[in-house]
Amino acid sequence: MDNTNLDSKRWLIAIMGTCLQICLGTAYAWSFFQLPLSSAFGWSQSLTAWAFCLAICFLGLAAAAGGVLLPKVGPRKLAMGGGFLFALGYLTAAIALQAQSAPLLFLTYGVIGGIGLGFGYVTPVATVSKWFPDKKGLATGMVVMGFGLGALFMSKIFAPMLLSYFNFAGAADIVAQQAILVKLFLALGVIFLVLTLPIGFMLQNPPAGYLPKGYTPPVVSAAASAAMDSLTAKDGILSKRFLIMWVIFFCNITAGIAIIGFQSPLFQDLWAKVNPSLDKMTLAAYGGTLIAVTSIFNGLGRFFWGGMSDKIGRTQTFRIMLGTQIVAFIALAYVPNPWIFAILICYVLLCYGGGFGTMPSFVLDVYGPKILAVVYGTILTAWSAAGIVGPQIVGILKDTYKGTPALAAYWTFIIGACFLAFGLIISFFSSNKPFTKK
């Protein structure tokens, strides 16, 4: 196959990778289920949030393992395996809800589904980056943009369509609501099984030595090239540079993920305070709309900041995102207007997504393509840690200040600003230069 055909094929691979990420990114719409599950099964906000926390935690852990497995089994098998486990997480979560067991929900949706998320997430990112050496930030930003847009599809298409079909709004009592939620998770499992397996089958690596037409690799000295080739995954993961990048990533994710899991309830609380006459269904619709809009910004941020980092540098991009978010979080702590709140949340999600759009090419620049999958997969453990820390902080605050949601929101944003400030400080110890073993 000549380079012209391969250049066309790489865009198909990128599109398939983006579609897989859209399916997996529906996990970001967890706040759509947060209130219905909490109300129907009598679970606290922080307890219900553990399903989402564990899913993100095991996403990062599985991504690290997936980075090791990917060179051995190839992208097709790992992507299909990830899609299968992700769908299985929903199918078995339906059993957990039928049993009204929160711990079983954590095991099924959180652990099984989370492992599927990790395998499925790392595969298209690492694979597409090999097809686009000329557009690293743009291509990986495009792929992970799909993950950010997943919440839009879940909150505005999949979940509302199924809830309407099962007549959730007309459920007469709690028992009826519980039964419908079981059916919802079962249906979602079937949908994702049908979608992710054929998409995963399409993913494959480029032929050895492939270069896009018209692309000339930058000139690298023989010594620098040899030094990069001699790096092992252990060298990269145990380096000071890795720790700095991990902390920057963790801080950016922790602040944003706290908002993702609870943006809908926080937004509904604000509207309820501004207009007490609004009923629960109207408030839920407002919350669902916010999830949809912010998911667009989450997705666009991955594409926008990923492309921007190609021009101004990876470290500089992170500094801009972290610094401007500090201002946004402090403003959010004092804003009573739900419209201004929504605008600021959209910007936070733009920067949150930007971290995911920038980090793959950052790792590639610093450590090279040889150990990309392993190092990038391992750096996603920052997502695991943030997936527990961020939502649990918010969940505990909401339970602690149950009668005063405004106070819970205030401390959520102040703590988020502190994480961002710490990440910004650490970013001044980072650089864009390739790592060399001393």
State the pLDDT at residue 139.
84
**Who contacts 417 (Cβ-Cβ below 8 Å, separation ≥6)?**
255, 325, 326, 329, 330, 333
- Percentage of the chain surpassing pLDDT 90? 45
Q: What is the pLDDT of residues 253-278, one digit of tens each?
A: 999 988 876 788 778 888 888 888 88
Binned at pLDDT 50, 70 and 90, residue 222 comes out as low
Q: What is the pLDDT of residues 281-308, one digit of tens each?
A: 788 888 878 888 888 898 899 889 988 9
State the pLDDT at residue 354.
94
Q: What is the pLDDT of residues 32-41, one digit of tens each?
A: 788 889 888 9
* Stretch 157-167: mean pLDDT: 83
State the pLDDT at residue 383.
86
State the pLDDT at residue 148.
78
Share the mean pLDDT of the chain: 88
State the pLDDT at residue 220.
61
Binned at pLDDT 50, 70 and 90, residue 211 comes out as confident
- Domain 7-207+232-427 in CATH 1.10.357.10? The answer is no
CB 436 within 8 A of CB 367: no
Backbone φ and ψ for 387, nearest 5 degrees, come out as -65, -25
Burial class (CB in 10 A: 0-12, 13-18, 19+), 82: buried
* Stretch 66-83: mean pLDDT: 94
State the pLDDT at residue 228.
67
Whole-number Å distance between alpha carbons of 169 and 167: 5
**Who contacts 333 (Cβ-Cβ below 8 Å, separation ≥6)?**
409, 410, 413, 414, 417
State the pLDDT at residue 170.
65
Domain extent listing, the chain: 7-207+232-427
> Over 60: is that where the pLDDT of 221 sits?
no
CB 315 within 8 A of CB 423: no
Q: How many CB atoms lie within 10 A of CB 276?
A: 7
